[in-house]
Amino acid sequence: MKKNDMPEYKAWKAMKARCYAPCNEDMGKYKENGITVCDRWINDFEAFYDDMGKRPSSKHSIDRIDTLKGYSPDNCRWTTQDIQCKNRGSFNLIFTHDGESLVLKDWAKKFGIKYGTLWLRIYRNGLSFDEAIKQDAYNRLVEMDGVSLTVKEWCKKLNLNSGNVYSRINRGMSPVDALTKPYRKSRSK
């Protein structure tokens, strides 16, 4: 196999491009943070290959262990995308729940919640982590006779006009009352 076709060579070239290629959009971020390639690797692919070795699989790519430091033998490893995503500093904060600390993506898997849903609940909708992991994060379920359904589901089950029920709730009526209290008959003239 020619050097140019080796995945390790492509990784070496991409690593240098991230730090030094003027056309690379990421370059500003790397330069801003002082991320460089060590002297041993900058112009010597063989030294890079000697230090890093063969890439374990096609799912592996080069990763900086400490994202605040540059590319060097003591700060680089071959890892999977999953591990790299967890190594992105403030981008992937660690949350602690019941004494266990995990990144958000792992909590999503653990609780069976889509990662995007959990992220939106916390970062866009402002829920705390403990609120965001609840099955009914927005307290939308209404319990009656031991059954919990959304207002919309109750309206369908009880054959009620959801617009009328939501109107009652918006005027301050509790969801249970809005669903169960009879409507006043209009006065006839």
Q: Where does 86-128 have alpha helices with state H?
A: 104-111, 115-119
> What pTM, to 2 d.p., does this model score?
0.51
Query: Where do the DSSP E strands lie in the chain?
Result: 60-64, 76-80, 94-97, 100-103, 141-144, 147-150
Please give the backbone phi and psi of residue 119, each rounded to the nearest 5 degrees, phi first: -60, -45
CA-closest candidate to residue 73, choices 115, 100, 39: 39
Q: Work out the mean pLDDT of the chain and round it to a whole number.
A: 86
pLDDT cut 70: percent of the chain above it: 89
List, for residues 134-169, the tens digit of each pLDDT value: 877 777 788 999 998 888 889 999 999 988 988 888
Give the containing element (helix H, strand E) for 14: helix 7-20
Confidence of residue 106 (pLDDT cuts 50, 70, 90): confident
